[in-house]
Structure 1
Amino acid sequence: MKKRRFPLYVQILLGMLLGILAGFVAVRTGHGQFIDHWVRPWGQIFIKLLQVIAIPLVFCSLVKGVISLKDIAHLSRLGGRVLLIYIGTTVFAIVFGLFMALVVSPGKLCDASHLSGMEGFVQTAVESAQKATEGKERGPLAFFEDLVPENIISAASSNQNMLQIIFFAILFGTALLAVPAEKTRAVRSFIDGLNEVMLKMVDFIILAAPVGVFALMASMVVSNAGNASVFSALAVYTLTVAVALLCMIFLFYPALIFFFSKMSPKRFIRAMYPVQLLGFTTSSSSATLPFNMETLEKKLGISEKTVSFVLPVGATINMDGTSCYQAIAVVFIAQVMGIHLDWGDLLSIVALTTISSIGTPGIPGGSYVILTMVLSSVGIPSEGLALILGVDRPLDMLRTSVNVTGDATVSVLVDTPDTDKA
């Protein structure tokens, strides 16, 4: 008889809950040193595994993304317009996420005084502040100056230089497009193969997520001396993300349709309910794609040419829900750890999240790697990822609903000549 296995997200949630329980038991019984010496290292190993593949994964994904953009541009006269709208909605989602996180400030509900024992986090905060100060002394264009690496090998030696890696990947991909295809066939094949290997490595690493989350949460509870305020902050964080994503679905997209198309927002929302529900239950834009295409064509009257072009592109590069969530997550983790983010850091978050959305792997756990990259780039310890992994599954389901709604919205916007008011 075949044994039933819990889904991975259930395993991660159980790992989080058991880690919290183990941490509190260790604090109450005076076995905190055991957690530090024998449990905490497994959490560090999990984080390092995510970090070690971040640079090659982002590089390969972005190069493939840049190469595909030329095909998109040549596929249709609407290609450039579609790309601009997708980028515009992504930037809005990130900025809106930052706004929600800064206004609600869920991480500040955590008692920061208990973080004093976390020497590594405090040291990172100090280094981040020093980095920000140096940037101000060098002038307003320091951010753009830092985009260009002096040495790509040196830049690739640290995840904090991820913006430089992204710059090089875009430059490399653009140059690859400029060279005749017959001369770059081997390079393209190598990039494709390396990308597949990186994705498979992500699959392997995510299998260790339950153990890693258990270790990280247990050590975090011990480090915070059993401080429970972090969990009330986590509840507010979850609510903040949910409200932000629902605002995207029921306010932002209907507003775009009302002002920039000939379709009734009410008609659009009614037709999209089943698609959103399917996206919510499957947590996969790709799995929802056929139903989304059928709904737009048959229920909303969008032309097959528009749907067959816009939706597949959106499923690849349009991640409004994921981008909004990542912005809130980064600020939340920084607030919990008492790390101040200045305007330069916020700008870096917008730039990194926007660009990386083109190359975010469409696999379970792919967003975790991107998130560790963004955290490292603005001087936030990646260990903070453990705070949000336990509640990630329901939020992942909701942000998938946002992603598929965003794809459908752009289809309506670019198909306005063939759409009537209803």
Structure 2
Amino acid sequence: MAKLEWLKRPGTSLAAMAIGILLGLYDRNVALFIAPVGELYLSFLKMLVVPIMVTAIISSLGKLMASREAVRYLKRTVLTFATGLLLVSLIGVGVGLIGNPGTGLDQRAREVLGNAIMGGEAMVSGQSGTQGAFTVMDFLAMIIPTNLFESLLGEQNLQVLFVAMVFGVAIGTVREKKRDDVLDVIEVIYKAFERIIGWSIYGLPVGLLCLMAGQFASMGMDLLAAMTKFIVLIHLACLIILLLSAVLIWKLTGRSLVRSTADLKQPLLIAFGTRNSLATLPFIFQALRARYRLEEKTVNFVTPLSIILCRYSMVTMFSVGTIFVAQLYGVPLGPGQIATVLLASILAALSGAGAPALVSLSMIGIILAPLGLPSETAVVLLLAVTPIVDPILTMLNVHLACASTILVNGSAVKASRPVRVGKEIKA
């Protein structure tokens, strides 16, 4: 395997992604032909994610419960997540109000948007039943599964996460020696899947090349051109948040902005190429343990919760997207409406946690209904720009998950400053 180590280098993956983008833009037929290879690679990674997530949550929660630290970690985690979501929503609303994405559109852009809305409303009409009041009971119904196997088959990751947490707490409260034996077995299973992930890295450049080729080949360029201002503002909001997140890691760990970004290069690269936050979980685990020397129980507990629950990407999309739709329809937003957008963006993002993209985006109806705006229009337009904004939004999720985990870990981070950098995941 030593001769193939070059396949694991970030430069190789970056070059592969660049080739994929060029293929998607200039040779659409070839790009669409190889795109299924990338989807197969992504499916392979996703196949490994659920076992890794479940075993990580169970083992970490079991150990936390056994050490009586669960309540302390839970308090810090909730406070960190709530603060992060609020700040992201504030930045999204601020960028939207200052940038005015829905104003100043020329006649051609309005025609393209109008055609896209009329053509897409039928597709999303079945998903627009979220305009009524969304209650706590609705959210709990989304979390608690009636059948675990149906949740696994339907990729209801929020429900799978809930079951894993309950099981981890239950194991941690057992006061017998056999508890440690069970946790050891679960950890061995986790390590086995982590080893498989290590093997899969050799195929990462090919997977990223094919994924990027397919994504860029399938973009509707006319619609993207009409929404250029919105796309630019989404990227601007993400860059501002990423910079703040990097500064937070710098302050917590003493590492420079460049160094901290380099330490997280592998999960960030995979996030950008796959557009799938869950697929990066094993690589986040490895980076935070090896590079930052964080406690394994903290990493394995906080990171999956952040990736699945804290949809920072959706908060950004919803906050900027709502401003865009309101301006598109000429609806003025006063202080009360802005406060509604600010808080409802967080609620809508939480409501779509673990759901497929179309269902998650349809949750914007929770924000738009009180403002008297049509959710179908928003869903159609957000779906259209998803291929171009998803890479940086996924990076946003991953970077903030890393920052949140480091913040929750707290004192252990400072003690890790002198420790040398570890190695990447190896086969």
Asked if these proteins are the same fold (TM beyond 0.5), I'd say: yes
1:406 Cα deviation after fit? 6.4
Query: In 2, distance between residues paired with 1:128 and 1:70?
Result: 40
- 2:318 & 2:19 partners in 1: Cα distance? 24
Measure the CA separation in 1 of the matches of 2:320 and 2:254: 36
Alpha-carbon deviation of 1:327?
3.5
CA–CA distance in structure 1, aligned partners of residues 309 and 169 of structure 2:
29
CA displacement at 1:127 relative to structure 2: 5.1
Gaps of 5+ in 2: 103-108, 265-286, 326-340, 362-382, 415-427
Shift of 1:317: 4.8
The 2-side partners of 1:315 and 1:334 are apart by 28
TM-score by length of 1: 0.59
Q: Which amino acid aligns with 1:18?
A: I
Q: Quick check: 1:282 aligned with 2:263?
A: yes
Write the letter of the residue equivalent to 1:9.
P
Aligned match of 1:19: 20
- Is the 1:100–1:240 contact (alpha carbons within 8 Å) kept by the matching residues of 2? yes
Pick from 42, 46, 59 the counterpart of residue 41 of structure 2: 46
Residue in structure 1 matching 2:237, options 222, 227, 240:
240
- State the Cα deviation string for residues 276-296 of structure 1 (Å, max 9, x = none): 665344334434546xxxxxx
1:100–1:244: 8 Å Cα contact kept in structure 2? yes
Cα contact 2:246–2:260 (8 A) shared by 1: no
Higher deviation after alignment, 207-216 or 229-238 = 229-238
Once the 2 structures are TM-superposed, how far is the Cα of residue 177 of structure 1 from its aligned partner?
A: 2.0
Give the equivalent residue in structure 2 for 1:148: 144
Contact 1:53 1:198 in 2 (8 A): yes
SS at match of 1:73: coil
Q: How does 1:62-73 map to 2 (within 5 A)?
A: 62-73=57-68
The structure 2 residue matched to 1:178, chosen from 160, 168, 173, is: 173
Bigger drift between 387-396 and 164-173 goes to 387-396
TM-score w.r.t. structure 2 length? 0.59
Shift of 1:95: 3.3
Report the residue type matching 1:19 in the other structure.
G
| Residue identity in the other structure for 1:22 | L
Task: State yes or no: 1:327 paired with 2:347.
Answer: no
The correspondence for 2:75, drawn from 84, 88, 95, is: 84
* Whole-angstrom CA distance in 1 between matches of 2:194 and 2:256: 27
Residues 204 and 349 from structure 1, CA distance in 2 versus in 1: closer, same or farther, beyond 3 angstroms?
farther
Decide which moves more: 216-225 or 178-187. Answer: 178-187
CA distance in structure 2 between the aligned counterparts of 1:406 and 1:329, rounded to whole angstroms: 21
Output the amino acid matched with 2:240.
Answer: V
Letter in 2 for 1:39: I
DSSP-derived class of the 2:6 partner: coil
Alignment: residue pair count: 343
Identity over aligned pairs, percent: 14
Partner residue of 1:55? 50
- 8 Å CA contact 1:43, 1:215 repeated in 2: yes
- Report how far residue 176 of structure 1 moved: 1.3
Query: How do residues 118-267 of structure 1 correspond to structure 2 at under 5 angstroms?
Result: 125=124, 128-130=127-129, 132=130, 136=132, 141-159=137-155, 161-185=156-180, 187-226=182-221, 229=225, 237-248=234-245
Q: For 1:3 and 1:191, locate their aligned partners in 2 and report how far apart those are by CA, in whole Å.
A: 31
> How big is the alpha-carbon RMSD for the aligned residues of Structure 1 and Structure 2?
5.3
In 2, distance between residues paired with 1:232 and 1:281? 30
Deviation readout 1:175-216 (Å, 9 max, x if unpaired): 212333334455333322221222233334444333233223
> Distance between the aligned counterparts of 2:401 and 2:162, measured in 1?
27
Gaps of 5+ in 1: 27-31, 254-267, 291-309, 354-372, 413-422
Q: Is residue 63–residue 172 contact of structure 1 (8 Å, CA) maintained in 2? A: yes
Q: 1:198 to 1:43 in 2, by over 3 A?
A: same
Deviation readout 1:97-124 (Å, 9 max, x if unpaired)? 2443455369x79x8959999xxx9988
- SS at 2:189 equivalent: helix
Q: Match of 2:311, as an amino acid?
A: A
